[in-house]
């Protein structure tokens, strides 16, 4: 087997791409400088009353910028399309593009459907009016699909944990020394210092993030909303006390907190299990109060609804916090939990402690945001109207204040998933919580950095993956903010 080059037989595109990129960069620089020094375009009022703007130097620069941008994007797409068709003949880029085939298909279907029906999709549909939001959403969904399909073993070329002899620290595109039948014959992005496939580890790492980050952020939001709304709405002692607690957690340097909470010793004491038991109650409270405040005037409908929903929620809660029939299982003592035959799923102690501490770190910030919004919104007329109607305080908080605070909260939700991703990476970087051979991006970066001066390829792919996912979430939040402000 020949080692793969980066672009293989489509190398003829490289000079074209170089030229296009050079023109693009040059035109961006000229565009910026010109926008400072050249006069603004003069509007010419035609005799018939219409307005047209003269072309001028600015127009020319913008045209060059536009076409060079289109050219670069077109060439990049050409690389990917040719890669999908030609596979390893098109070098590493082609092979990677071919491996990502399910992701491309899913992305194309999703974008086509969404753009076709965008007028009926509310805020989500409006996202497709903003190019920034679209780019951000595309990046995010790319990694979400990568995570899902990677977990289904559709994208990965090798097992992310298995080590192949002779592949230690090999550069990207190295063929396996003696591949077996059905085994992918190359390490597309090289091997790391334990001779594992960097590409497969990066793809599997996406699944770790996609699994934990959105869920942890959602839990943090539930906690923050359930505590922040009453703090802002009632004010007084409750507010002082809760704000003090929130500031207390916020005053902790995050890394110190992680070092104190996410260690095997602390897991052995059962502290994370207690925290999980407390923190995961909040979603149940939230759902229960949400439904009860809405339907309490119709007891015939409310009671079965609450029994059904809360029953499922409590079952999920108990299976979440209990492992092997115990909620807390330390050497000193144990607390009985759900019996194993009712337990739906088990979460390994390492993952649970990571999850809990990420929720714990995020919720005070959410609390502060929700509290601020509640303080602002409770002075509005529609809240006064609801109070005059005789609605209960929880109805006002959850069905009057919360829906009207949704704009900033959705934007912050996107930003916070990005922040959670960064936190997960930090945990991996310090080797806390997740098992040492885990393919998550933080751990991989940490392993790769030790040999960084000689071998670049193990550390850079996860670094760029994390960068692009967080960037996508930031752009998505920006797009959403822009679109929600337009109303």
Partner 1 sequence: MGLFILRRFGVMLLTALCLTFVVFFLTNLYPNLEKLAKTQGNQRMSDEQVEAWLENRGYLQPTLVKYGQWLGVMPGFQNTLEDGQFVGTCTRPGSTAEETSKYCGVLQGDWGYSTVFKDEVGKIVGKRLGNTGYLMFWVLVLMVPSALIVGVLAGMREGSALDRSLSTFSIITTATPEYVSGVIFIAIFTSSTVGLKWFKGTATQAMDNPTFENFFLPVLTIALYGMGYIARMTRASMTEVMTAQYIRTARLKGVSFSNIVMKHALRNALIAPFTVIMLQFPWLLNGVVIVETLFNYKGFGWALVQAAGNNDIQLLLAISVVSVFVVLITQLISDIGYVYLNPRIRIS
Structure tokens given for 456? 């670049």
Q: Which stretch binds partner 1 (CB under 8 A): 25-33, 289-297, 349-357, 378-386?
A: 25-33
Site string for partner 1, 79-118 (x = CB under 8 A): ----------------------------------------
Least distance between partner 1 and beta carbon 459 (Å): 5
Least distance between partner 1 and beta carbon 317 (Å): 25
Under 8 Å CB-to-CB from 32, ≥6 apart: which residues?
A: none
Binding to partner 1 by residue 43, rule CB under 8 A?
Answer: no
Site string for partner 1, 256-275 (x = CB under 8 A): x--xxx-xxxx-xx-x----
Nearer to partner 1, 222 or 477 (CB): 477
Binding to partner 1 by residue 241, rule CB under 8 A?
Answer: no
Site for partner 1 in 382-421 (CB under 8 A): 418
Under 8 Å CB-to-CB from 10, ≥6 apart: which residues?
A: 79, 82, 83, 86, 90, 91, 93, 94
Q: Which of 19, 21, 101, 254 binds partner 1 (CB under 8 A)?
A: 254
Nearer to partner 1, 283 or 433 (CB): 433
The secondary element (H helix, E strand) that includes residue 412 is helix 406-429
Q: Which of 183, 247, 303, 340 binds partner 1 (CB under 8 A)?
A: 247
Whole-angstrom distance, CA of residue 454 vs CA of residue 449: 10
Q: Which of 116, 120, 244, 485 binds partner 1 (CB under 8 A)?
A: 244
CA distances (Å), origin 110, targets 98, 100, 166: 19, 15, 41
Q: What long-range pairs does 317-322 form, CB within 8 A, spacing at least 24?
A: 317/280, 317/281, 317/283, 317/284, 318/342, 318/343, 319/343, 319/344, 319/345, 320/276, 320/280, 320/345, 320/347, 321/273, 321/276, 321/277, 321/280
Q: Which of 101, 151, 255, 287 binds partner 1 (CB under 8 A)?
A: 255
Least distance between partner 1 and beta carbon 297 (Å): 43
Which of 212, 78, 192, 204 shows the shortest CA–CA distance to 153?
204
Q: Which stretch binds partner 1 (CB under 8 A): 5-13, 24-32, 106-114, 201-209?
A: 24-32
Helix (H, G, I), strand (E, B) or coil at 52: strand
Least distance between partner 1 and beta carbon 358 (Å): 14
Cα-Cα-Cα-Cα torsion 323, 325, 326, 330, nearest 10 degrees, comes to -80
Least distance between partner 1 and beta carbon 465 (Å): 9
Contact 192, 198 (CB under 8 A): yes
Q: Which stretch binds partner 1 (CB under 8 A): 118-126, 176-184, 197-205, 424-432?
A: 424-432
Whole-angstrom distance, CA of residue 182 vs CA of residue 387: 69
Site string for partner 1, 431-460 (x = CB under 8 A): -----------x--xx-xx--xxxxx--xx
Q: Which of 15, 39, 253, 436 binds partner 1 (CB under 8 A)?
A: 253
Whole-angstrom distance, CA of residue 375 vs CA of residue 246: 16
Least distance between partner 1 and beta carbon 453 (Å): 5
Binding to partner 1 by residue 463, rule CB under 8 A?
Answer: yes
Q: Which of 228, 283, 425, 439 binds partner 1 (CB under 8 A)?
A: 425
Other residues' Cβ atoms within 10 Å of the Cβ of residue 411: 19
Identify the bridge partners of residue 335 per DSSP, sorted by sequence position: 328
Could you tell me how many residues of this chain bind partner 1 (CB under 8 A)? 54
Contact 446, 431 (CB under 8 A): yes
Least distance between partner 1 and beta carbon 280 (Å): 21
Site for partner 1 in 158-197 (CB under 8 A): none
Nearer to partner 1, 94 or 190 (CB): 190
Place of tokens 């109060």: 289
Nearer to partner 1, 85 or 452 (CB): 452
Least distance between partner 1 and beta carbon 452 (Å): 5
Contact 153, 479 (CB under 8 A): no
Which backbone phi and psi does 147 adopt, to 5 degrees? -60, -45
Under 8 Å CB-to-CB from 138, ≥6 apart: which residues?
A: 107, 111, 472
Whole-angstrom distance, CA of residue 392 vs CA of residue 298: 15
Q: Which of 43, 116, 251, 485 binds partner 1 (CB under 8 A)?
A: 251
Q: Which of 78, 101, 106, 471 binds partner 1 (CB under 8 A)?
A: 471
- Using CB under 8 A as the criterion, which residues of the chain lie in contact with partner 1 when the complex forms? 28, 31-32, 34-36, 244, 247-248, 250-256, 259-261, 263-266, 268-269, 271, 418, 422, 425-426, 429-430, 442, 445-446, 448-449, 452-456, 459-460, 463-464, 466-467, 470-471, 473-475, 478
């Amino acid at each position: 087997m020949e080692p793969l080059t980066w672009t293989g037989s489509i190398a003829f595109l490289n000079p074209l791409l170089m030229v296009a990129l050079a023109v693009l960069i040059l035109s961006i620089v000229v565009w910026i400088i010109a926008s400072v020094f050249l006069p603004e375009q003069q509007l010419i009022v035609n005799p018939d009353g219409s307005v047209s703007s003269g072309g001028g130097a600015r127009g020319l620069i913008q045209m060059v910028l536009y076409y060079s941008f289109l050219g670069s994007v077109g060439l990049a797409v050409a690389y990917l399309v040719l890669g999908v068709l030609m596979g390893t003949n098109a070098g590493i880029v082609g092979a990677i593009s071919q491996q990502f085939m399910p992701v491309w298909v899913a992305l194309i279907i999703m974008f086509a459907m969404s753009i076709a029906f965008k007028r009926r999709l509310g805020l989500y549909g409006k996202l497709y009016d903003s190019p920034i939001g679209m780019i951000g959403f595309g990046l995010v969904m790319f990694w979400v699909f990568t995570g899902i399909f990677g977990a289904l073993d559709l994208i990965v070329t090798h097992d992310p944990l298995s080590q192949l002899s002779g592949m230690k620290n090999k550069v990207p595109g190295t063929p396996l020394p003696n591949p077996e039948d059905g085994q992918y014959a190359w390490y597309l992005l090289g091997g790391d210092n334990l001779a594992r496939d960097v590409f497969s580890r990066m793809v599997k790492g996406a699944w770790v993030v996609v699994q934990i980050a959105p869920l942890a952020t959602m839990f943090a939001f539930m906690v923050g909303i359930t505590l922040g709304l009453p703090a802002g709405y009632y004010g007084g002692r409750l507010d002082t006390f809760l704000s003090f607690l929130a500031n207390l957690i916020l005053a902790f340097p995050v890394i110190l907190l992680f070092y104190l909470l996410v260690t095997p010793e602390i897991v052995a004491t059962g502290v994370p299990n207690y925290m999980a038991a407390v923190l995961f109650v909040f979603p149940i409270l939230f759902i229960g109060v949400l439904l009860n405040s809405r339907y309490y005037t119709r007891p015939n409908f409310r009671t079965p609804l609450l029994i059904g929903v809360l029953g499922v929620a409590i079952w999920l809660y108990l299976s979440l916090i209990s492992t092997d029939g115990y909620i807390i299982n330390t050497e000193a003592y144990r607390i009985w939990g759900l019996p194993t035959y009712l337990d739906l799923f088990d979460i390994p102690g390492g993952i649970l402690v990571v999850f809990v501490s990420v929720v714990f770190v995020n919720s005070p910030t959410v609390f502060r945001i929700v509290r601020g919004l509640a303080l602002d919104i409770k002075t509005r007329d529609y809240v006064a109207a609801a109070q005059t109607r005789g609605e209960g305080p929880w109805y006002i908080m959850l069905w009057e204040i919360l829906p009207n605070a949704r704009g900033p909260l959705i934007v912050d939700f996107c930003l916070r998933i990005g922040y959670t991703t960064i936190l997960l990476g930090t945990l991996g970087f310090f080797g806390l919580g997740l098992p040492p051979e885990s393919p998550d991006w933080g751990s991989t970066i940490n392993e790769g950095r030790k040999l960084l001066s000689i071998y670049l390829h193990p550390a850079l792919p996860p670094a760029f993956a994390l960068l692009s996912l967080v960037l996508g979430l930031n752009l998505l939040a920006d797009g959403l903010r822009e679109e929600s402000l337009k109303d």
